[in-house]
């Protein structure tokens, strides 16, 4: 029992601390991870991985034994090998500002913020070595950008307006926000061919115009497509993922709600003062999200959640709606 009380006290302290830091900025450099030299995150169970403020989705296909989607942190230093055998290395060789770790991601990669309604201020981005070298020189599936053969659509040599674009979209309570951010990882659309470029170093992408979000998703598109979709390798690298709190979320007392019984054994009830759509999360003592969804809760009918399969211990139940939030410490026994 003493151990459980200490855990509950630590959680309560963490709750108070998190309330006071919502207006602060956090930059994830990924330097806290540990990998063998020239390695990368790999989990054949397809487990997501996380940082202090975000969860990075990850997928692994066991039937074909390959990384099938999402993001992976890495310390691969290889700006030479531009083939499929080098999926993780970035063309800038190392992370931003010569750091050791960064992230390589695929098309449709998703990042879920642990604290909802944060602002993603932005991040640094560059091409992977694989994508950059294929765009520069081409391969058996892709043409060199600019169509240096001079045969595509009758365009003059080296003038075809190729491009490779990263689009960032934000979501709030599962709904796409209005704005999106676009960044060209390569652009050959200039009338002056001397201005054509492929990104070879780290560039800042400002995402603050997305506003308050609880997740972001990345989309890649290219001018070089074929019968089976995009020919350009669908990978990119990011570093220094920066988020900040919003002034509207400062107090866990701003949302009138109650969670009972406490302690609980198999289920909890959530009651609210106002009927509304609520984002609900349950986190364990490590800050890992054990349950997450959005539901409409009536002020006349508490919402029942089954926690029977949770291990005994302390948990935080987070509720948020609009610019209001509440956090409740519960004990499962």
Q: What is the pLDDT of residues 279-316, one digit of tens each?
A: 898 988 667 788 888 889 999 999 999 999 999 888 88
Residue 23 has pLDDT above 70, yes or no: no
> According to the CATH classification, is domain 2-18+248-332 in 3.90.78.10?
no
Domain with CATH 2.60.40.3080 in the chain: 2-18+248-332
256: pLDDT confidence band, cut at 50, 70 and 90? confident
Q: Tell me: pLDDT of 21 over 80.
A: no
Domain 24-244: give its CATH architecture: Sandwich (2.60)
Please tell me which of 15-24, 52-61, 174-183 the model is most confident about, judged by mean pLDDT.
52-61
Spatial neighbors of 178 by CB under 8 A, at least 6 apart, are none
Handedness of CA 299, 296, 179, 47 (dihedral sign): positive
In percent, how much of the chain has pLDDT > 90? 57
Q: Residue 18 pLDDT > 90, yes or no?
A: no
User: In this predicted structure, which of 105-119, 187-201, 216-230, 317-331 has the lowest mean pLDDT?
Assistant: 317-331
Q: How far apart are CA 106 and CA 194, in angstroms?
A: 29
Burial level of 214, CB count in 10 A (0-12/13-18/19+)?
Answer: buried
pTM of the shown model: 0.67
In this model, does residue 106 exceed pLDDT 70? yes
Q: What is the pLDDT of residue 148?
A: 58
Q: Band the pLDDT of 149: cuts 50, 70, 90.
A: low
**Average confidence score pLDDT of the chain:** 86
What is the DSSP code (8-state) at residue 21?
Answer: T
Whether the predicted pLDDT of 167 surpasses 90: yes
Query: Looking at residue 316, what is its pLDDT?
Result: 87
Confidence of residue 72 (pLDDT cuts 50, 70, 90): very high
| Position 60 pLDDT exceeds 60 | yes
Residues of the chain with CATH 2.60.120.1350: 24-244
Instruction: State the pLDDT at residue 86.
Output: 98
pLDDT of residue 131: 98
> Is the pLDDT at 232 greater than 70, yes or no?
yes
Phi, psi values for residue 287, rounded to 5°:
85, 10
For residue range 181-231, list pLDDT tens digits in order: 999 999 999 888 889 999 999 999 999 899 889 999 999 999 999 888 999
Q: 37 or 8: whose pLDDT is higher?
A: 37
Q: Residue 189 CA to chain centroid, in angstroms?
A: 30
327 near 303, Cβ under 8 Å? no
């Amino acid at each position: 029992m003493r151990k459980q009380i200490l855990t509950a006290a630590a959680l309560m302290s963490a709750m108070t601390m998190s309330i006071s830091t919502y207006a602060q900025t956090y930059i994830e450099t990924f330097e806290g991870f540990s990998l063998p030299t020239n390695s990368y995150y790999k989990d054949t169970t397809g487990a997501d991985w996380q940082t202090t403020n975000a969860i990075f989705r990850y997928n692994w296909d066991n039937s074909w034994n390959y990384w099938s989607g999402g993001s992976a942190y890495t310390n691969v230093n290889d700006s030479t090998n531009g083939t499929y055998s080098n999926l993780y290395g970035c063309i800038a060789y190392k992370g931003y500002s010569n750091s050791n770790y960064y992230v390589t991601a695929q098309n449709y990669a998703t990042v879920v913020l642990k604290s909802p309604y944060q602002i993603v201020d932005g991040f640094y981005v560059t091409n992977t070595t694989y994508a950059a070298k294929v765009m520069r020189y081409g391969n058996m599936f892709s043409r060199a950008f600019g169509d240096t053969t001079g045969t595509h659509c009758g365009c003059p040599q080296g003038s075809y307006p190729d491009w490779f674009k990263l689009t960032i979209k934000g979501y709030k309570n599962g709904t796409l926000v209005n704005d999106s951010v676009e960044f060209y990882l390569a652009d050959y659309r200039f009338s002056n061919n001397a201005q054509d470029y492929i990104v070879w170093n780290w560039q800042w992408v400002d995402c603050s115009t997305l506003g308050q979000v609880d997740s972001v998703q990345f989309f890649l598109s290219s001018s070089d497509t074929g019968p089976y979709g995009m020919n350009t390798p669908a990978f990119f690298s990011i570093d220094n993922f920066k988020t900040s709190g919003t002034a509207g979320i400062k107090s866990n007392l701003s949302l009138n709600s109650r969670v009972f019984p406490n302690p609980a054994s198999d289920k909890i009830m959530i009651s609210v003062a106002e009927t509304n759509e609520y984002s609900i999360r349950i986190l364990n003592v490590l800050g890992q999200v054990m349950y997450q969804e959005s539901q409409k809760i009536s002020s006349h009918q508490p919402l029942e959640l089954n926690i029977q399969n949770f291990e005994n211990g302390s948990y935080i139940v987070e509720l948020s709606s609009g610019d209001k939030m509440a956090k409740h410490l519960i004990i499962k026994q």
